[in-house]
Structure 1
Amino acid sequence: MRITKQQLEQELNLVEQSLKKFKDGTSIEDIRQITGLELRTLQRRLKELADQGRISISGQRKSTLYHPIHISYPEVIKDTEDEIVPLSTMGKEIKAIISKPSAKRHPVGYDLKFLTSYRPNIDSYLTPEDKNKLASLGKTARLNQPAGTYAKEVLQRLLIDLSWNSSRLEGNTYSLLDTQRLISQGEEADNKTAAEAQMILNHKDAIEFIVQGSEEIGLNRYTLTNLHAMLSSNLLPDPAASGRLRSMGVGISNSVFTPLSIPQQIEEMFELLLDKANQIENPFEQAFFIMVQLPYLQPFDDVNKRVSRLAANIPLNKHNFSPLAFVDVPGEIYVQGIMGIYELNRIELFKDVFMWAYERSAQRYAALRQSLGEPDPFRLEYREPIKSLITEIISQALTPKQATDLIHGEAELFDKDQTKFIEAVETELLAVHEGNFARYHIRPSEFKRWQEVWKNN
């Protein structure tokens, strides 16, 4: 069957991009695993790429290796999410399988055994070493105080961080500054949808619910159904579906996984999930268990991942560990980790993401409590442009919208680091107060004028 020029170029690009993962070259079998192309088709595409000078070939027959051509243009060489989130060998294996086109992946349904076979405190997704590392990272000075003490102390920062990052993982395009203005002043960002603002405000309500709630807050039906009701408020086609277990089948976009569709089974598995979660003694295993099993069950019509991300913070808050705010977590690798659970019942890739995500969040809140630690290498590298931008924003008394435009314009100079640079500047700007503004060489009168403009716009 003949293919169009567009389809041909798509296949050539797919093969070329897959090779960039192997700086020292790789075999045709490795490329076939990633691309999902038939062997004969792949052989033709590799020959065409070699003829065009886009790849190189070394060795003969079984020892043949295919190599990417390293181009020096900065716009071509970018950090991959693998480099942002270090992956284990098994995590990379899962990523390779999930990265294949959906037509090349085997359709699967919900496997009851994935939940029923889990034995709390006997089986564990996290190793003892994982748990010790997480406990060390998340330790606060409030460990022996009443449950939720630490989360209440950092609530204002948590509302912004967790609302923004959790919404960002759903494709929300609000910036960190946009989120701060919406949560603090109720001001919606220009050129953003009402649904995006609703999503962030729903997160705010849900976070306040789990942090400031009574002793009834826990991994129980009351908490999870109400979390869903808050997170899904005004976002579902059927308003009555908020806070209720679903009564119909659902599909998963870009996945070959089909969740349970029988309401009675959904009800039974939801109760079993909660029962097992509450038996787990370690708070980090509890958090990860919820993040794995709740999206896999898909007990609600939609918004399941959001519920799992906030619910994961409940055991951490109860033990006064640092919260999990999903700081810097790349959206694509997060989704691929979830897909590994949906389609393979394998947690290793998602665990790589979870471990890295908690470390990043713990670092953020360690800075808030003024603990000593290693400086952030990224902020150290970009120290001068960050400082210069904040000085300009305050000294010129820019409004939040003007500041956002300036930051985004300046970030264009940093190519692959644009997104990270924007977040670094916005995070530091939100941390400026009357006790630290002098480090930006700002006079008290300039700081006071900026504060007035900032609050009134």
Structure 2
Amino acid sequence: MSRPASNDLIPAILAAVAAAPAGLTFGEITTALGEKTVRRTLQYRLQRLVETGELRMSGNRRSARYTIAAPRQDGPAPPAEVVPISPTGRAALDYVRQPVAARTPVGYDRAFLEAYRPNETFYLAAGERERLARIGAHEGDAAPAGTYAKRILDRLLIDLAWNSSRLEGNTYSLLDTRRLIDFGQEAEGRAHREAQMILNHKDAIEFLVQSADDIGFNRYTILNLHALLANNLLADPQAVGRLRHIAVGIERSVFHPLETPQLIEECFDQLLASAEAITDPFEQAFFVMAQLPYLQPFDDVNKRVSRLAANIPLVRANLAPLSFTDVPDDLYAQAMLAVYERQETDLLKDVFLWAYERSAARYAAVRQSVGEPDPFRLRHRQALRDLISQVIRRGLGRVEAADYIRAQAQVLVEPETREQLVEVAETELLALHEGNFARYQIRPSQYVAWRKIWDA
């Protein structure tokens, strides 16, 4: 078969996959299109089709299989009907869709937490956990904790910050979010609170990824995660990173959370102990997604904490992260109402399983276009970040920067790697431009001021 023209490649891919109900592997698609098809070009086209929702990707990189999927919608998340709902989930959904006056008021039931026995009780069935493990795994699973998340951090920051904020009613678009995170530019006509919410997500995600060796289901991690997500958003600044001392209500719900601070603290510690004891990372993720918002341990921002905390075991195990891509906001809210009012987790599980498959497919596509990370850069990531940011903040020109980097290398690394650190740092400086300086936590004004000195 002759090689398709570049403009015809996407229709040819879709036609080939559509003709195979069971889907095709990368090699089978190559054969269908012709042996002269450029491998890299085909990878980019497949990645694009997965990201736009025209193809669905399942399995890991080498055994990935592509099938036709429903087209992804731009803008708002797709309607709730795109998520397959189990019979028990449907019953819960029908209940919470009733008017508030038709639903029975309930309070927090500690038995919901106490009945759970780590590694004996399971919200996710064995087959569901095995399937998630297959689609979330990738080469390099034995690497240090957080290696994979660091590799895709730039993409993860945008995806997770936007989707988690969207589930809270944030009106920033994906492009608005990218501009805010990359350049610090707030969207016109939007409340400052929305920008703060997204930037807080960025800080919280970086905390989880950069502290992968230290994070866990413990007070240090969860309290600091709340502090980062709630920064500058709570009426009481002292409530940031602190367990709740006040009564709270849930909007459009008949659920009444605990009010006694001592009981909140006891249940919080019990919840963390149970979560940390769970050995399966997906069961851990789902457990905290259900139990933490049900307890409402903080004045506000509880669901945001639970969504990012669900990524803790995934980051630690180098699994594909859960970024809540395309999750319908109304269905997620209703699934949480089912947990609050009926202690029913099946609807939330339906959302979780669908969401993880979407996220895993997205990052499987990302992996095809991201080269293998440089081990030296990975090992000295923080040192490089500090060096570059200091050069910019100090407004150093080329000569002063070279002297500063060489002097710092004397104290930052062992003698045999000093020259390599100097070379890598100088290469990073030469590659800086307006589209990539945000990773060094530099404000646009700082970059512009430094750039004038550097170019002079």
TM-score (norm 1): 0.64
Over residues 186-241 of structure 1, what are the superposed CA-to-partner deviations in whole Å (9 max), with x where a residue is unaligned?
11111111000000000000000000016321111000000000000000000000
Q: For 1:249 and 1:187, how far apart are their aligned partners in 2? A: 36
Equivalent position to 2:148, from 147, 150, 158: 150
Q: For 2:233 and 2:328, how far apart are their aligned partners in 1? A: 24
Q: Report the counterpart of residue 202 of structure 2 in structure 1.
A: 204
Q: Give unpaired runs (5+ residues) of structure 1.
A: 1-78, 372-449
Q: Report the counterpart of residue 276 of structure 1 in structure 2.
A: 274
1:176 aligns with 2:166: no
Q: Report the counterpart of residue 296 of structure 1 in structure 2.
A: 294
Over residues 319-373 of structure 1, what are the superposed CA-to-partner deviations in whole Å (9 max), with x where a residue is unaligned?
10000000000000000100000000010000000000000001110000118xx
Q: For 1:337 and 1:347, how far apart are their aligned partners in 2? A: 8
Q: For 1:248 and 1:142, how far apart are their aligned partners in 2? A: 46
Q: For 1:159 and 1:365, how far apart are their aligned partners in 2? A: 13
Q: Report the counterpart of residue 193 of structure 1 in structure 2.
A: 191
Q: Give unpaired runs (5+ residues) of structure 2.
A: 1-76, 370-433, 437-443, 449-456
Q: Report the counterpart of residue 306 of structure 1 in structure 2.
A: 304
Question: What amino acid sits opposite 2:223 in the alignment?
Answer: T
Count of residue pairs the alignment pairs up: 302
Over residues 76-127 of structure 1, what are the superposed CA-to-partner deviations in whole Å (9 max), with x where a residue is unaligned?
xxx9834211111111111000000000000000001000110000000000
Identity, % of aligned pairs? 59
CA RMSD across the alignment: 2.3
Q: For 1:451 and 1:362, how far apart are their aligned partners in 2? A: 26
1:352 aligns with 2:350: yes
Equivalent residues in 2 for 1:109-120 (5 A)? Answer: 109-120=107-118
Question: What amino acid sits opposite 2:307 in the alignment?
Answer: R
Q: For 2:212 and 2:301, how far apart are their aligned partners in 1? A: 24
Question: What amino acid sits opposite 1:190 in the alignment?
Answer: E
Equivalent position to 1:98, from 96, 99, 121: 96
Q: For 2:171 and 2:140, how far apart are their aligned partners in 1? A: 35
Equivalent position to 2:326, from 322, 325, 328: 328
Deviation at 1:144, TM superposition (A): 1.1
Question: What amino acid sits opposite 2:363 in the alignment?
Answer: Y
Contact 2:96 2:337 in 1 (8 A): yes
**Are the structure 2 counterparts of residues 89 and 203 from structure 1 closer, same or farther at C-alpha, using a change threshold of 3 Å?**
same
Q: Report the counterpart of residue 264 of structure 2 in structure 1.
A: 266
Equivalent position to 2:239, from 238, 241, 261: 241
Equivalent position to 2:228, from 205, 227, 230: 230
Helix, strand or coil: the match of 1:357?
helix
Q: Report the counterpart of residue 124 of structure 1 in structure 2.
A: 122
Helix, strand or coil: the match of 1:305?
helix
Q: For 2:105 and 2:335, how far apart are their aligned partners in 1? A: 17
Contact 2:324 2:356 in 1 (8 A): yes
Q: For 1:316 and 1:80, how far apart are their aligned partners in 2? A: 25
Question: Which portions of structure 1, spanning 4 or more consecutive aligned residues, are displaced by more than 6 angstroms?
Answer: none
Q: For 1:100 and 1:451, how far apart are their aligned partners in 2? A: 48
Over residues 385-431 of structure 1, what are the superposed CA-to-partner deviations in whole Å (9 max), with x where a residue is unaligned?
xxxxxxxxxxxxxxxxxxxxxxxxxxxxxxxxxxxxxxxxxxxxxxx
Q: Report the counterpart of residue 433 of structure 1 in structure 2.
A: none
Helix, strand or coil: the match of 2:250?
coil
Question: What amino acid sits opposite 2:95 in the alignment?
Answer: I
Q: For 1:353 and 1:98, how far apart are their aligned partners in 2? A: 15
Q: Report the counterpart of residue 398 of structure 1 in structure 2.
A: none
Question: What amino acid sits opposite 1:149 in the alignment?
Answer: T
Question: What amino acid sits opposite 1:314 in the alignment?
Answer: I
Contact 2:204 2:225 in 1 (8 A): yes
Q: Report the counterpart of residue 87 of structure 2 in structure 1.
A: 89
Q: For 2:96 and 2:90, how far apart are their aligned partners in 1? A: 10
Deviation at 1:451, TM superposition (A): 8.1
Q: For 2:161 and 2:203, how far apart are their aligned partners in 1? A: 10
Q: For 1:156 and 1:80, how far apart are their aligned partners in 2? A: 24
Deviation at 1:263, TM superposition (A): 0.3
Helix, strand or coil: the match of 1:350?
helix
**Are the structure 2 counterparts of residues 102 and 192 from structure 1 closer, same or farther at C-alpha, using a change threshold of 3 Å?**
same
Deviation at 1:141, TM superposition (A): 1.3
Helix, strand or coil: the match of 1:370?
helix
